[in-house]
Structures are given as C-alpha cells and as structure tokens.
Structure 1
Amino acid sequence: MKIAFLTPEYPHPKVNHAAGLGTSIGNLTKALVRHGHAVYVFVYGQKQTEDFVEEGIHFYLITDKDFAFAKWYNYRKYIQNEVQNIISQEQIQLLEVPDWTGISAFMKFSVPVVMRFHGSDTYFCHLEQRSQKLKNKWFETLAVRGAQAYIAPTNFAGELSKMLFNIKNKPIKTIHYGLQLEGFTNTHPEMYTPYSILYLGTLIRKKGVLELPEIFKKVRQEYPQATLKLIGSDASDIQTGNHSTWSLLKEGFSEEDLNDVHYLGKLPYDAIQNHIQDAQACVFPTYAETLGMVTIEAMAMQKPVVNSNIGWAKELMEDGQSGYLVHPKDHGVYAEKIKALFNSKSKCLEMGKAARAYVEDHFDMEKQVTKNVEFYKKLIKP
C-alpha cells in the first residue's frame, strides 16, 4: 500500500516540534515501512519547504505561509494543493489526518481520508471543563465531517469524540498506539536511585503538574529524602495567563521541598530513557489525554507507575497489578501509592515486570501495525 500522513509534528531534527502526537506517528510510519508499505509524511507549519527520503519514508516539509487575508482558509487550501499533487504523482491510496485544530477542514482529496483522534481541542476542552473558541470547534467539526473513517487510541477517546462531534454511520476503530519494544529495555530494573520520583511530559495544567507540590509534600512527611525530577517543555498557563507553568509550579512547593525538586527541561530521547531507568517510580497525574505515550514508555522499561484514573487511563494498566490508578486531586491517596512503592523494593520490581508484560500484550507495535493495515485496506478503493 501507499499511505500518507498529514501532521504538525514528527520526531526528526529537521522538523520544528515533536511531542506525543508526532512520536506515535513516527512509531507507526517506521513500522509500516518495515512491513513493506510505502509511506509519505507531510509536515505543515515548517520553517522551510523541503522533501527528502530517510529510512524508507518520503518526507515533505510544508513551509508556514502568511496570507494577507483569511490565513485560516488559504493556508489550508495551500496545504491541500501541495499534498494532492504528491497523491496524484505517487498514486497514494489513503491519507491519514489528525483531529487537532481541524487542519483538514475545507480540504478535498482524491483518496479516502481517515482521521486519528490524537486529541482535539474540543476533546481537551470537554475534559478540562473549559470554554472553547467557536472557530476552533467549527474547524474541527468540519474536519471530522470530511473524514470517511476514524481511529482512536483508546475506546474512551473514540466514544467521547463520537459524542462530541455527533458521528453517525461511519466506522470508528480503536487501535492503541504502539511501541517498538526493543527500543525500550531495562536489563537491570533492580538498579535505581531510591526514593526518586520522575514526571515526564509538558509542564502544563492539563497534565496535572500543579497537583505535584501537595503530593510531594505528603510523600516527604514520611520520606524526607524523596526527590522529584521533572522532564519536558515548559508551557504558558491558559487559566492565569502566566507565560510559564514551571514558575507557577515552583510557587506551590515549600522552600525545603523545592530543594529536592529538579526541573531538567526538554531532553533528547536517549537521555530521557536514562532518567526513566534511574527513577524508582514514575508519576502521571494528568487530567486530559487520549492515551499517554510517556506512560507506556515508562511501563515498557519496567517502571512502577502511578497514573491518573480518568477514562482513557483505565485502558493502560490493571490497577494494583501493572500500575496504580488514582485521581489527581486525591493527593493523600496518590502519595500513599508512591510511599507503598518506596516501602517495598520487591513491590517495585513485581509491578514493573507486570507493567512490561501488559505493554507487550497491548502496545507492541508489531501487533498494532497489522491492525492499522487491516483497517486501511477496508477503506482503500479497489
């Protein structure tokens, strides 16, 4: 098959940005190539126009462009024309688009369009119970209507998106994101820094990071030697208008606790894996995800995880066996789960082993790529 992806991000040095959305697409595209399919990746909003082939993937970087009037429409049509030209030239059979910002609104293509629910603004606004700009809802609704079928990374994300966009009589398939598991190994899970907690992800309110000061405080009441490490990009805060969530976060810690909190910013992928190995426990108290790539990456490296218990998270692990599921607002319970891990090395190793087994069963890319291919084939015109 010849399959194309339209995306705002991708994990490549020439691309401006990559987070969970880009990582999941990167994992899938590489797996598709390994399975003998031709893959084309269109990355919009870039600094320059460029096309190249790497690891069997055809990349097309689409420059960001200014328009004197209605960029929201004209830039979309510009992207459409660039993508459609390659679709025609290369005889591409299917295009996958993201839901975020409704980028595919107003676009028409000669091939079937499948939308993957990475997490729309509509979805996140609903989970966070905040108001959404009407234009954003309009763009995303138009984009959703323009797709012929949908893929959701969790049943929760699929059902909620179906309700929010009133999707009827179109297929929605749940296919989890996948990991290339040999890239996530931990040959010595028994070796870690005791009493160390790691948070991975953007520092932003919706990820629940502002709950960490109170959770950490309660942990340190019993384990004053505990440390907290945070890795990820800083982000502005919509609610307060503050340009830095890290600055807000620092205000929540006591001066004594803050001495043992270390924010490392954004790090290369390889360095992050070293920090995962070094941690005794990983925490993800998030309020809004469709799945959470960093959670399953930590689990794949045999780390005990204390995760949010909201919706999608219940599809990532079995509570009490392959991880703990706790509501981010339940600071006392959240801290108790971390302390339970600190109190028992055998529990950490047992839960880490179960976490790895759960990931192997549910998120192995070699299994997930087959499910994607089977779904694509049903949509491609004979």
Structure 2
Amino acid sequence: MKIGFLTPEYPHERTGNSGGIGTSIKNLAHAITALGHEVVVLVYEQKEDAVFFDNKVEVHQIKNIKIKGLSWFLTRKKIEKIINSLYLNNKIEIVEANDWTGITSFIKPKKCPIIIKLHGSDTYFCHLDKRPVKWINKFHEKRALKKADGHVSVSAYTAKMTNEVFNQNHNFTIIPNGVDMFLFQNEENKSIDVTTILYFGTLIRKKGLLELPLAFNIIHQKNPNTELVLVGKDNFDIISGNSSTWKMMQELFTPSALKKVNYIGPVAYSEVKKYIEKATVCVFPTFAEALPVSWLEAMAMEKAIVASNIGWGNEIVEDGISGFLAHPTNHQEYADKILQLLNDDTLRVTIEKNAKNRILSHFEINFVANQNLDFYKKIIGN
C-alpha cells in the first residue's frame, strides 16, 4: 500500500520540534515502511518547500501561502494540488490527516480518499480545559470531520467527546497510538535512583503541572530525600497570561520541597530515554489528552506510572495492575499512590512488569500498524 500522512508537525532536524501528534505519526510511518509499504508525509507550516527522506519515509515540506485574508484557503488548495499530483503519479492511495484545526476542511482531492484520525482537536482540548474555542477553528474542524471518507480515533473517550462537542454522530474506528519496543526498552541491570520521580513533557497547565507541586509537597514531607525531575519545554499559561508555567510552579512548592526539584528543560527526543531509565516512578497528572505517547514510552521501559484517571486513562492503564490512576486535583491520593510505589519494591516491580506486558499486548507498534493498514484497505475498497 501507499499511504500519505498530512500533519503540521514531524520530529526531524529539518522539520523542527514536534509534540505527540508528530511522534505518533513518525512511529506509525516507520513501522508501515518496515512492513513493506510506502509512506509519504506532508508537513505544512514549513519555512520552505522541499522533499527529503527520513530512512524510507518520503517527507514533503510545505510552505504556507501568505496572503492576508486568503492564506488559509490558498494553503489548503496548494495541499490539495500536491495530494492530487501524488495520487495521479501512484505515490499515494489514501491520506490520513489529524483533526487539529481542520486542515482538510476545504481540501477535496479528485479521487484520493481522506480520513481523519482524532489526536484531539482544538475544540476538544478547549472543552476539556473549560475555555472558549476560536470559532474559526471549530468551523474548520467540524467541516473536516463531516467531509472525511473515514474516521479513526486513538481512544474511545476522544471519539465520544468529539461527537458531543460537534453535535455529530460519526462511527469512529478505535486504533491507539503505538510505541516501538526496540527504541523504548530498559537496559538490563541498569541501576536506578530509588528516590526519583520523573515528569517528561511540556510544562503547561493542561498537563497538570500546577497540581504536581502540591502532590510533591506531601511526598516531600514523608520522603524528604525524594527528588522530582522535570524534563520538557516551559510554556506560557493561556489562562493567567503568565509567560512561564515553571515560574508559577516554583511558587507552589514549599521552600524545602523546591530544593529537591530539578528542572532539566527541553532535551532531544533521543535523550528522553536516559531520564526514564533513571526514574523510579513516572508521573502524568494531565487534564487533557487523547492517548498520550509518553505514557506508552514509560510503560514500555518497565516503569511504574501514576497518571490521570480522566477519560482515556483506563484505556491505557489497568488501575492497580499496570499502573496507578488518580485525579490530578486529589493531591493526597495522587501523593499516596506515588509513595506506595516508592516504599514498596515488590509492588513496584510487579507493576513495572505488568506495564510492559500491557504495551506488548495492546500498543506494540507493529500490532498497531497492522490495525491501521486493515482500516486503510477497507476505506480504499469502499
């Protein structure tokens, strides 16, 4: 098969930094090519028009057209022309786009089917954050969903909530994100710091980073030698307007607890694994996700995680078996579950092994890639 992916982000030195959407697309693209299929990734919002190869994946950089008032429409028509050309030249048979800001709302190729995969639209995340969404984003996202030839979601929760916020009734096929077990595996006999809690990801309110200090204060009282390590890019706070979430966090730690916090800052994607290896417990107290790749990566490396019990959470973690779940605002419960894992080696080792087995049975990248391929064949056949 010949599959195209349309995305605003893709992790590569030529295309710039990427979040979870780009990472999940790259994982899937490389798995599909390894299975003998062809993949073209179309990355818009780039500084130039160019084509290069990332191993076997053909990556097209697309520069947006800049004309006041018409940029959104002309850029979509430029992408439509590229898709038509690739389809007519037998380079792609189908295109998968994500739901973020509805890029395909006015893209209608002559023959190439377009499917939408939910990674979480702006409308979806604004709903979870309880803040207003830009009407133009909601308009494009709703139109893109309505026009799509097929619908996929990385979690059942995201599918349900998306239908609700757009007042639609699409039949979503649920195919989760996957993780490459070869890239994310713990080295045998790798020693860990038994008093390290790790968070990796963007420092932002919706990820629960303004709740984490309050839980850590409780942990610090009972386990004063425990260190909290934060790895990721600092971000502004959309609600308060503060330029730094990290600065806001510092004010929430007690003075003694703050001394045990180590903010590393952003690191290369390839470096994240080193911090996961050293951690005892990984924490993800987030309020807004679709199906986070970071959770999968930590679990693949046999790490016990304490994560959010909202929506998608139990689609990844079996609470008390392959990890722990708690609400981010319940600071006492969240802290207690972390302390259980820090203080009980036998429990932690059991959770770690179950976490890895959970990934192997449900989220291993080749297993997920074949689910995607079956779905693409079905849409093309129709």
TM-score by length of 2: 0.96
Q: In 2, distance between residues paired with 1:67 and 1:93?
A: 31
Q: In 1, distance between residues paired with 2:188 and 2:252?
A: 35
Structure 1 counterpart of 2:194, which letter? P
Give CA-to-partner distance per residue, 1:151-181, whole Å, 9 cap, x none. 111111112212222333x541001111111
TM-superposed CA distance for 1:125, in Å, is 1.2
Whether 1:86 aligns to 2:82 is no
Secondary structure at the residue paired with 2:182? helix
Q: Runs ≥4 in structure 1, deviation > 4 angstroms?
A: none
Secondary structure at the residue paired with 2:210? helix
Structure 1 counterpart of 2:148, which letter? A
Q: In 1, distance between residues paired with 2:114 and 2:41?
A: 14
Q: In 1, distance between residues paired with 2:53 and 2:90?
A: 14
Aligned residues: 381
Distance 1:68 1:122, change over 3 A: closer
Secondary structure at the residue paired with 1:181? coil
Contact preservation (8 Å) 2:190, 2:277: no
Secondary structure at the residue paired with 2:67? coil
TM-superposed CA distance for 1:381, in Å, is 4.5
- Is 174-183 or 48-57 further displaced after alignment? 48-57
TM-superposed CA distance for 1:82, in Å, is 2.7
TM-superposed CA distance for 1:91, in Å, is 4.7
TM-superposed CA distance for 1:190, in Å, is 6.9
- Per the alignment, residue 344 of structure 1 pairs with 344
TM-superposed CA distance for 1:234, in Å, is 1.3
- Per the alignment, residue 222 of structure 1 pairs with 222
Q: In 1, distance between residues paired with 2:88 and 2:253?
A: 56
Q: In 1, distance between residues paired with 2:84 and 2:236?
A: 36
- Structure 2 gaps of 5+ residues are none
- Per the alignment, residue 269 of structure 1 pairs with 269
Whether 1:166 aligns to 2:167 is yes
Give CA-to-partner distance per residue, 1:127-160, whole Å, 9 cap, x none. 1111112111111111111211111111111122
Give CA-to-partner distance per residue, 1:326-348, whole Å, 9 cap, x none. 00000000000111111112222
Structure 2 counterpart of 1:160, which letter? M
Whether 1:290 aligns to 2:254 is no
Structure 1 counterpart of 2:330, which letter? D
TM-score by length of 1: 0.96
- Per the alignment, residue 152 of structure 2 pairs with 151
Percent of aligned positions with the same letter in both sequences? 39
Q: What RMSD in Å do the two structures reach over aligned CA positions?
A: 1.4
- Per the alignment, residue 64 of structure 1 pairs with 64
- Structure 1 gaps of 5+ residues are none
- Per the alignment, residue 28 of structure 1 pairs with 28
TM-superposed CA distance for 1:353, in Å, is 0.7
Give CA-to-partner distance per residue, 1:3-44, whole Å, 9 cap, x none. 100001112111122111011000111111111111110000
- Per the alignment, residue 303 of structure 2 pairs with 303
Q: In 2, distance between residues paired with 1:79 and 1:91?
A: 15
Structure 2 counterpart of 1:155, which letter? A
Secondary structure at the residue paired with 1:69? coil
Q: In 2, distance between residues paired with 1:43 and 1:142?
A: 21
- Per the alignment, residue 235 of structure 1 pairs with 235
- Per the alignment, residue 127 of structure 1 pairs with 128
Give CA-to-partner distance per residue, 1:168-223, whole Å, 9 cap, x none. 3x541001111111111113477211211000111111000100111010001100
TM-superposed CA distance for 1:249, in Å, is 1.3
Secondary structure at the residue paired with 1:182? coil
Contact preservation (8 Å) 2:42, 2:61: yes
- Per the alignment, residue 5 of structure 2 pairs with 5
Contact preservation (8 Å) 2:235, 2:243: yes
